[in-house]
Chain A
Amino acid sequence: MSSVPTPSQTIGPFFHDALLDKNYSELVSPDHPEGIRIKGTVYDGAGEVVPDAMVEIWQADTAGRYDHPTDDREDISLHEDFSGFGRSGTDAGGEFHFLTVKPGPVPGPDGKVQAPHVMVSVFARGLLKRLVTRIYFPDEEVANAVDPVLSSIEDPELRRTLVARDEGDALRFDIHLQGDGQTAFFEF
């Protein structure tokens, strides 16, 4: 059996009824004491908003544990009500939004610790493959400074695109697909 993956294709413009039939953007209930809002706008290379994108997030719980069998660290108990997965479409203004909790720090390569972060996938018409990025937190300056992934990015401008901005009632994480201020995107 071939081990070469099936090629990716664009999500196209017509995914909403199938993939966003319910609200999957709230990972915790609105009255959760540690709930935080994360929102952002997706922009294209001309600076226009992208109203037909889908943004997915994947993250650890507040203790830094992922709800997945590969994360088998039994010294950190799993928060049972938290799946760590969210999905939001962008609206007419190109904006997505999530209600979640801030994840704890998680293990990194070579025994290092990674600063708290949220994994992000971006899908849209015009994206033949998803884009992968990460949301880091503005109140984690010390941990961010030694995060192995952030510190692997030499360009400080590019590095800064991965840290959300605190707007008081929410954290803002705008995604620039292209052009000046392009968000840092990853490959595996």
Chain B
Amino acid sequence: MAQRKGEEAAGYRREDDGVQPPYLYPDYVATRLRAPKKPLIILPRTLSDTTGPAYGRGAVGDLDDDLTRQHSGEPLGERIIVTGRVLDGDGRPVKSNLVEIWQANAAGRYTHHLDQHPAPLDPNFSGAGRCLTDAEGRYRFVTVKPGAYPWRNHDNAWRPAHIHFSLFGPAFRSRLITQMYFPGDPLLEHDPICQSVRDPKSRQRMISTFDLETTQPEWALGYRFDIVLEGRDATPMENHR
């Protein structure tokens, strides 16, 4: 008999606590017809989800982690270094794990054919990267700071600058796609995708921090973005009991 998490009064209810976004967040209009309405079914922990495609998908190329060197010239924009650690829910580093990123160029334009924003494409920037975490769970990308861009969610809607991150972690359970934002961005409070995470502390976890140690003199600003995935062995539910 499947038990609804919501019935466990003492339990840790992620969606209710605003630690994770809900499926239905009407201010983000696209959720209205895509969010499931029937209650989710609790999946018991089995080998099907404590295993997972932990080692990603094939080889990572030499230039895959440097988005400024994938073409003949350098892209326009503010060169940045984005680095951080990937940890599981128990605080252990997630090693040798694939990190995939994608982003708009400095003008706020994606190379994607469906992006119709009238900002220039940059022939020297594709905006896609990947790398593997090291033994301490650390990843590092060199790229340019993405621009904000308009979207049609509501009148005068603009997405804050962000980099999409895709991670597998140690198990099927730990799969995560998220977005990294930049500190001090005035658009964050107007963005329903960011604001769908209702808990302010949790929202803060999606915002990178400027890091002088990562910053390289005369060359690039550094931002730090640590990522915590669901553990293979423990869930937040159990941690908070």
Assess A114 versus B46: contact at CB under 8 Å? Given A68-B51, A153-B41, A182-B37.
yes
Counting chain B CB atoms within 10 Å of each CB, the highest count among A3, A11, A48, A87 belongs to A3
A140 within 8 A of B: no
Tell me the minimal C-beta distance from B75 to chain A in angstroms: 15
B21 touches A58 (CB 8 A): no
Q: What is the size category of the interface that chain B forms with chain A?
A: 35 or more
A29 within 8 A of B: no
Chain B residues whose CB sits within 8 angstroms of the CB of A131 once the complex forms: 23, 36
Chain A residues whose CB sits within 8 angstroms of the CB of B175 once the complex forms: 56, 121, 130
Which residues of chain A from 98 to 140 have a CB within 8 Å of any chain B CB? 106-109, 114, 117, 119, 121, 123-132, 134
B126 touches A128 (CB 8 A): no
B164 touches A187 (CB 8 A): no
In the complex, what residue of chain B is closest to A52 when comparing beta carbons?
B114
CA distance A4 to B102 in the complex (A): 24
**CB within 8 A of A19: which of B19, B22, B102, B197?**
B102
**What are the 7 A-B residue pairs with the smallest beta carbon separation, nearest first?**
A126-B30, A18-B102, A85-B53, A68-B51, A18-B128, A126-B34, A128-B21
Which B residues fall within an 8 A CB radius of A? 1-2, 5, 19-23, 25, 28, 30-38, 40-54, 57-58, 87, 89-91, 100-102, 104, 110-112, 114-115, 126-130, 164, 166, 171-173, 175-179, 193-194, 196-197, 202-203, 205-206, 227-232, 234-236, 239
Which A residues fall within an 8 A CB radius of B? 1-19, 21-22, 24, 44-46, 48, 50, 52, 56, 58, 60, 66-71, 83-85, 87, 106-109, 114, 117, 119, 121, 123-132, 134, 148-149, 152-154, 158, 177-179, 182-188
